[in-house]
Amino acid sequence: MRTRSYMVGLAFMSPALVVLIGFFFLPVVLTAVFAFTNMSTSTGISGGSYVVTGNLLTALKENGVPVEIADALSKASFVVDPEGIAKARDAGTDPAFLAEIEQQLGGRTFTDERLFERELKTLQHRPRSIRDLKLAVDQFELSILNSRFTSESAARQAIATFLPSAPADTVDQIVEASYTGWTWTTANFKQLFSTSDTWRIVLNTVFYVAVTLSFTVFVGLFLAVTTFYLPAGAASAFSMLWLLPRITPIVLYAVMWKWFTWEGGFLYTAADALGLPAFNYMKGSVPTAWTIVIMVNGFIGAAFAMILFSSALKAIPVQQLWASEVDGASRWQQIRYIILPHLRWPILFVTSYQTLSLLSSYQEIWLTTNGGPGRTTTVWALESFNTALNSYTGNLQYGLGAAMALILVIVGVSLSIIYLRLFRFDELLGRPKIEF
């Protein structure tokens, strides 16, 4: 019976489990895995192949690979012999063209692909398409340079066949170095802990979260308390107004702030008219940039805080307030001794919830200051996103970015667990009343 009820429960959960495992659990696991790799644009995500290139051989020479071996590997030659002809025939090259090659160039060796191609181009039966000509040329090539091998053994075998005299450990070294894919490493964390840049971003993040959070809580409190005392009409007008930032789509919201603060925008024009310093407030100075970043995010959070606080205030027995007024309490005393104690839990909740969302939010900053001016308003989540996915120079460092994201995950999960304790999670878990 018990298993049956378990089955029913799991069946009801299963759609949610599928989606949550796919889009929460797996990404977290993958992030954790990537954090320990050197994955980047140049290594690719899905794995690499084995390629011996000229630059690689130059580097290997410095790292102890005997010069003669490296030089031998770096040579390419094109030999017109029966074997090559046969291969080209199998590859589908025009037989008339091949016959001509054999007749005119039979037995010759070229070290320069360009020269060989030029010779072939003079032949009467040359294919019209340059691609076909090049494909024919490739059949005569004796080289492993720049060939992509999909597996290690193929690469090893190719080198061994090409250069049977090479010692096994040298071949190992070459094969290992020729891998273009990613490898396991802990360098990401070492790098994060060793650069001063990291600590600057951590400081930025702490500052951002702390100040935005205070803004959210204080403005939210102020709004909730003042609208509580206002007549219903005015109160609802203000609460509707403050919900606008929360429901406005982010693209529009960000551009409205730009319009408000950029040159030619509202503040700029107003300041200019009043003779105050007018410049691009969002990007033109560090204090104004921070102010705007905090307001952009704080306005969204304040609406959330206000709703929570307001609904908590509605639970205060009105008689208690009347009684206090009869006793001659000032409004400040009322707030201090009746209202604020009532709001203790909502305030704690907003603080913890907003800390988590602010820690991992970067959309608003990305779309407004983009971490500028300089990198003064760059926070951890934004830097992680920029490192992993958004680089002007084109080299996306997935591994390093994932390491940064992983740290954020760990911080976030630890904080949530603390908060769950704080909010007495166990109380939320009533046992189901129907047991079969």
Partner 1 sequence: MTVASFMKSATLAAALLASTAVLASAKDVTIKVWAGGTGPTNDYRIEAIKMAADILEREAVIRGEELNVTVEGQTWTTWDDFKQAVTLAAESNTAPNIIVSGHEDIGTWSQSGLLRPVEDYVDFDAWPLNQLYPNLIDVASFDGRVWGIPQDAESRPFFFSRSHMKAIGYTDADIEALPGKVESGEYTLYSMLDDAKKMQDAGVVEPGKGFMPRPSNGTDYWQFYQSFGGEMTDRESGKLVLDRQALTDMYQFFVDAVEKGVVPATYLGTTWDSWHDAVAHDKAGIWHGGTWHKAEWETKWGLKDFFGQMQYSLIPAGNEKGRANTITHPLVYLLSTTGTDDDATIAAELITIASEPRINALHAVKSGHLAIGTAEAEIPLYANDRWTTVATEALLPHATSLPNDPDFGVVWKAMYKGLEASWTKTSPVADAVSGVESEIKATLGDKVVIR
Partner 2 sequence: MTRNYSNWPIILVLLLISAPIIVMYAFLLVDTVTTSPPGSAIPNGFTLSHWRFLIDPTATGDVWGPTLTTILFTASIVLIVLGVSSTAGYALSRLNMPFRRFFLGGILVMHAFPLVTLIIGVFLVLQFVGLYNTLTGVVLVKAGLMLPFGIWIMKGFYDTVPWEIEMAGVQDGASRFTVWRRLILPQVRPGLFALALFAAIDAWGEYMLPRILAPSADFEVLSIYLNTVSDPDSTTYNFNLFKSVGLFYTLPILALYAIFRDRLMNIFGGGTKG
Residues 222-261 that bind partner 1 (CB under 8 A): none
- Judged by CB under 8 A, the stretch of 95-103, 123-131, 345-353, 427-435 that binds partner 1 is 123-131
Kindly tell me which residue out of 209, 307, 313, 339 binds partner 2, with binding defined by CB under 8 A. Answer: 307
CA–CA separation, 360 vs 375, rounded Å? 18
Residue whose pair of structure tokens reads 């024919």 in the numeric block: 136
- Judged by CB under 8 A, the stretch of 75-83, 187-195, 251-259, 282-290 that binds partner 2 is 251-259
DSSP H or E run through 428? none
Neighbouring CB atoms inside 10 A of 353's CB total 16
- Judged by CB under 8 A, the stretch of 101-109, 132-140, 149-157, 403-411 that binds partner 2 is 403-411
CB of 240 to partner 1, least distance (A): 33
Say whether residue 178 binds partner 1 (CB under 8 A): no
Say whether residue 281 binds partner 2 (CB under 8 A): no
| Residue 197 touches which of partner 1, partner 2, none (Cβ within 5-8 Å per kind) | partner 1
Say whether residue 153 binds partner 1 (CB under 8 A): no
Output 355 or 378, the one with its CB closest to partner 1. 378
Kindly tell me which residue out of 104, 170, 173, 180 binds partner 1, with binding defined by CB under 8 A. Answer: 180
Say whether residue 428 binds partner 2 (CB under 8 A): yes
Output 8 or 86, the one with its CB closest to partner 2. 8
Kindly tell me which residue out of 94, 356, 370, 376 binds partner 2, with binding defined by CB under 8 A. Answer: 356
| Residue 93 touches which of partner 1, partner 2, none (Cβ within 5-8 Å per kind) | partner 1
Hey, which residues between 3 and 42 contact partner 1 (CB under 8 A)? Answer: 40-42
- Tell me the β-bridge partners of 109: 79
CA–CA separation, 248 vs 255, rounded Å? 11
Peptide bond before 373: cis, by omega within 30 degrees of 0?
Answer: yes
CB environment 131-170: b (16+ within 10 A), e (fewer): eebeebbbbbbebbbebebeeeeebbebbeebbeebeeeb
Hey, which residues between 211 and 250 contact partner 2 (CB under 8 A)? Answer: 219, 222-223, 226-227, 229-231, 234, 238-250
How would you class 84 by CB atoms within 10 Å of its CB: exposed for 0-12, middle for 13-18, buried for 19 or more? buried
Kindly tell me which residue out of 19, 23, 66, 190 binds partner 1, with binding defined by CB under 8 A. Answer: 190
Output 62 or 435, the one with its CB closest to partner 2. 435
CB of 23 to partner 1, least distance (A): 17
Contacts for 58 with CB less than 8 Å, ≥ 6 apart: 70
- Tell me the β-bridge partners of 142: 77
One DSSP character per residue, 241-267 reads HHHHHHHS-HHHHHHHHHHHHSTTSHH
Rounded (5°) CA angle 133-162-117? 20
Residues in contact with partner 2, counted by CB under 8 A, come to a total of 107
CB of 65 to partner 1, least distance (A): 15
Say whether residue 59 binds partner 2 (CB under 8 A): no
- Judged by CB under 8 A, the stretch of 65-73, 114-122, 135-143, 259-267 that binds partner 2 is 259-267
> Comparing C-alpha atoms, which of 417, 295, 425 is closest to residue 352?
417
Contacts for 412 with CB less than 8 Å, ≥ 6 apart: 356, 359, 360
* 159 to 63, 66, 118, 139, 152: CA distances (angstroms): 18, 15, 29, 18, 11
CB of 285 to partner 2, least distance (A): 18
